[in-house]
Structure 1
């Protein structure tokens, strides 16, 4: 089973320290030992936002800010690589072709950002489409996709299941509200819709939730189901063992 896991920077590195990174690395290696082929994309999180804020105050333009954010995502990716076994890759893949080649060699594929004006949400969706993954997981700091930003609206309700088209509509609605935060950005949602990629958005602060979702489809997040697909995929990773 080919799986892409997009891990938010604030999920992987909520503050400087090794524990959370090591826990996510252990889950990735466990899934690989069970036969999964894993690509992981790592975001920039709070550190990226702090650097971008400082650089904006210093007069950097938006492309320069994007590039700074990419650099931070790659630093976070290197932290994850450092926590993996010595047989892992030694540096983040810089593009989709390099990432795909790593997976063909049965290496773990780790990426950060790729290009300005593209978030790691979109990188995760594009990588999943590029390698024809069976499953895309967004490990975020919220439990799924909501009808509104739960940090701003006490009446926001979580969607247990959405079509890819409904995901695009939901994210577009969230992003129209200034200050609102969406668990997946609009470009990523459109790539998911285009590719028909089976996707799960979940709270990844406990990495065991990622493992359960990959092995059994067991999660409390939001299922993004391709048009015309059944209620469940034809198999989960546990069925391959």
Structure 2
């Protein structure tokens, strides 16, 4: 079942994956089988002729807000979280390149020994050449989430859509894992998400996507082929747009 009634037609997309999605059944860190599965789906989409870039969270290793809640200075905790996203980005890059997909990691915090610094025009050129670009270290600033980084990079790259992979197959009235009576939305507007406080992404990310008129597709990254099926016309997702 799919939303919108037609197969999405996107030339360039940004995939946002949470760090927790890379844990698989583990309680911490990276599950190699899960990373390889997600990489295989990215490869399948690239082979359809779609230009793909990614933003990956770091919550499987370190979450800045949690560190701040435990008494750490928020800015320092957020920088540690950004470094966690670099670890995840390098892991996904490795999995993609083992599948033969040319990939570049660009970090908002320069660390040229392990990856490129973020340069917008270079990133665009990489994608035009068919390379997957992974944007690491969030926005490079504390107090901003990787959701906001995803909306920012999608805007800078001129993406046709931002796809957010979650644990559930769309946006619900409540957490369907905790509330079995929760119902799923097929389509929402950005204002709906903000007014109903649905928690799809943080408010700054939603506002930026709205300003750039970039549709957000929320789908399950834990479902096998969840990402690739969207481009095959058989995916299940909730779409957030201006209308």
* Shift in Å, 1:138: 0.3
1:214 to 1:157, Cα distance in 2 relative to 1, 3 A: same
- State the shift of 1:70 in Å: 0.8
1:106 equivalent in alignment to 2:130? yes
Indicate the RMSD between aligned Cα atoms, in angstroms. 2.3
**Counterpart position of 1:209:** 226
From 24, 44, 54, give the equivalent of 1:30: 44
Distance in 2 of aligned mates of 1:31 and 1:81: 15
Segments of 5+ residues of structure 2 without an aligned counterpart are 1-10, 109-117
> Which residue of 73, 78, 89 maps to 1:61?
73
Query: What TM-score comes out, normalization by structure 2 length?
Result: 0.78
Distance (Å, rounded) in 2 between the aligned partners of 1:92 and 1:20:
22
C-alpha spacing 1:199/1:106, structure 2 compared with 1 (3 Å):
same
CA-CA distance at 1:87 after TM superposition: 5.5
2:239 is matched with: 223
Distance in 1 between residues matched to 2:146 and 2:75, nearest whole Å:
15
Write the distance in 1 (CA, Å) between the matches of 2:237 and 2:124: 28
Q: Is 2:158 the counterpart of 1:132?
A: yes
**Partner SS, residue 48 of structure 1:** coil
Cα distance in 1 between the residues matched to 2:38 and 2:106: 16
Judging by fraction of residues, say which structure has more helix. Answer: 1
Change (3 A) 1:91 1:118: same
- The SS at the match of 1:47 is coil
Q: Is the 8 A contact 1:96 1:130 kept in 2?
A: no
Which ranges in structure 1 are unaligned for 5 or more consecutive residues? 175-181, 228-241
Q: Which residue of 2 aligns with 1:197?
A: 214
Contact 1:93 1:99 in 2 (8 A): no
SS in 1 for 2:201: coil
Aligned length: 215
